[in-house]
């Protein structure tokens, strides 16, 4: 059963099913111009939560989000692998925009279970794109810098992809699946993300802090792969700006990049977080060689010039952003 969603707005509109609302109610919105519906999948996740926060101020949009294992009101609980349920949900809601954030993002998990990864990252993406095409809806597919091999950065959106691991291949294949059935959609590639977490292990950035708080001394960390940590709140602003731009410019589509602009290895991130955690930086050890696990690109820096030229984007310095993120988890 699909749980009813809430309209995210600042005027305190009560919980109700959007389809049963009286569009002629005076003062609610202009009845001549129907309210736009923006749906975010994976809305209980790290990035999805930030996207909902960024969309919420738009009181002329109905903002809905789906989750599954961690879904709680006002999110709609929906198993994206249940094709019948997803079809019924999308055809009932009839969204104008789908921001597809749900994915298997853990490279180690993807290597161990490539079938499940392909199902979520590719097959579900294809199904959502087909439904969007049938409703003349727009779709943003969140992809990754791991579609590149890291040999010749920075990467422009039209550069050839060459993923090195199962996760990267699944996201590349998800891009191809969407393009195949929804040619005027948008692909938005992002790098390593961090933000407000429910637990430190939720992000590949804050899991480093978790290791330090566990008192592991000394702690050896990768100092080989260059990453560009990006705040989820910044990423969510870009998603909102893209939706706004699409509503005013119906031809807006294609492949885009957004990323933070501070290059860091995991060792470098740890050095910046250690003083905030009361951890002695002298106990950190740098590993200059590639680490174990699935192969990763050394430097998959993304060229963000297209969105920058459109006046889009937001970047919060790492040193500023990480402080409130770590504060609730300090012991």
Q: What is the mean pLDDT of the chain?
A: 89
pLDDT tens profile 9-60? 333 333 333 333 333 323 333 444 578 999 999 999 999 999 999 999 998 9
Q: How many Cα atoms within 13 Å fall on the side-chain side of residue 240?
A: 22
> Which residues, 6 or more positions from 64, have their beta carbon under 8 angstroms from its beta carbon?
5, 18, 37, 38, 39, 40, 76, 93, 95
Contact between residue 128 and residue 82 where contact means Cβ atoms under 8 Å apart: no
Task: Give pTM, 2 decimals.
Answer: 0.88
pLDDT at 1: 38
pLDDT of residue 141 exceeding 50: yes
pLDDT at 17: 35
Question: What six digits make up the tokens of 321?
Answer: 């952003």
Could you give the percent of the chain with pLDDT greater than 70?
Answer: 90
36 phi/psi in degrees, rounded to 5? -80, 140
H helix runs in 182-265, sequence order: 206-213, 232-248
Sign of torsion, CA 243 320 301 44?
A: negative
Beta-strand runs (E) in 27-160: 36-41, 61-67, 76-77, 97-100, 138-144
Triad 199, 9, 103: Cα angle to 5° = 40
SS3 281: helix
Average pLDDT over residues 254-263: 98
Query: How sure is the predictor about 215, in pLDDT bands with cuts at 50, 70 and 90?
Result: confident
CB atoms within 10 A of CB 149: 20
The CATH H-level superfamily of 18-197+229-262+296-316 is NAD(P)-binding Rossmann-like Domain (3.40.50.720)
Query: How sure is the predictor about 194, in pLDDT bands with cuts at 50, 70 and 90?
Result: very high
pLDDT of residue 179 exceeding 80: yes
Closest CA to 39 of 6, 64, 10: 64
pLDDT tens profile 271-302? 999 999 999 999 999 999 987 889 999 999 99
pLDDT at 293: 87
| C-alpha span between 322 and 200 (Å, rounded) | 12
Could you give the percent of the chain with pLDDT greater than 90?
Answer: 81
pLDDT at 6: 38
Q: Which position has the token pair 């921001």? A: 99
| C-alpha span between 81 and 41 (Å, rounded) | 12
């Amino acid at each position: 059963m699909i749980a009813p969603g809430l309209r995210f707005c600042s005027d305190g509109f009560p919980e109700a099913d959007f389809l049963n609302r009286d569009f002629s109610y005076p003062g609610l919105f202009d009845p001549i111009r129907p309210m736009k519906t923006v749906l975010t999948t994976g809305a209980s996740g790290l990035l999805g939560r930030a996207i909902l926060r960024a969309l919420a101020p738009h009181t002329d949009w109905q903002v809905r989000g789906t989750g599954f294992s961690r879904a709680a009101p006002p999110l709609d609980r929906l198993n994206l692998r249940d094709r019948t349920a997803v079809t019924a949900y999308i055809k009932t809601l009839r969204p104008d925009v789908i921001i597809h954030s749900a994915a298997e993002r853990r490279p180690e998990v993807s290597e161990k279970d490539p079938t499940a990864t392909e199902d979520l990252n590719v097959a579900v993406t294809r199904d959502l794109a087909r439904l969007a095409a049938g409703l003349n809806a727009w779709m943003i597919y969140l992809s990754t810098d791991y579609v590149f091999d890291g040999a010749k950065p920075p990467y422009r959106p039209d550069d050839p992809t060459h993923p090195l691991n199962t996760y990267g291949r699944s996201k590349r294949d998800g891009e191809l699946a969407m393009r195949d059935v929804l040619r005027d959609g948008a692909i938005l590639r992002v790098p390593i993300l961090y933000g407000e977490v429910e637990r430190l292990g939720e992000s590949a950035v804050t899991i480093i802090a978790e290791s330090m708080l566990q008192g592991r001394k000394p702690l050896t960390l990768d100092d080989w792969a260059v990453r560009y940590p990006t705040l989820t709140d910044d990423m969510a602003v870009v998603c909102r700006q893209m939706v706004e731009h699409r509503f005013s410019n119906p031809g807006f589509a294609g492949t885009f990049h957004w990323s933070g602009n501070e290059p860091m290895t995991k060792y470098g991130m740890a050095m910046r977080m250690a003083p905030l955690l009361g951890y002695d930086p002298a106990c950190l050890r740098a590993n200059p060689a590639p680490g174990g696990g699935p192969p990763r690109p050394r430097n998959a820096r993304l060229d963000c010039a297209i969105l920058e030229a459109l006046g889009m984007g937001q970047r919060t310095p790492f040193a500023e952003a990480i402080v409130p993120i770590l504060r609730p988890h300090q012991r």
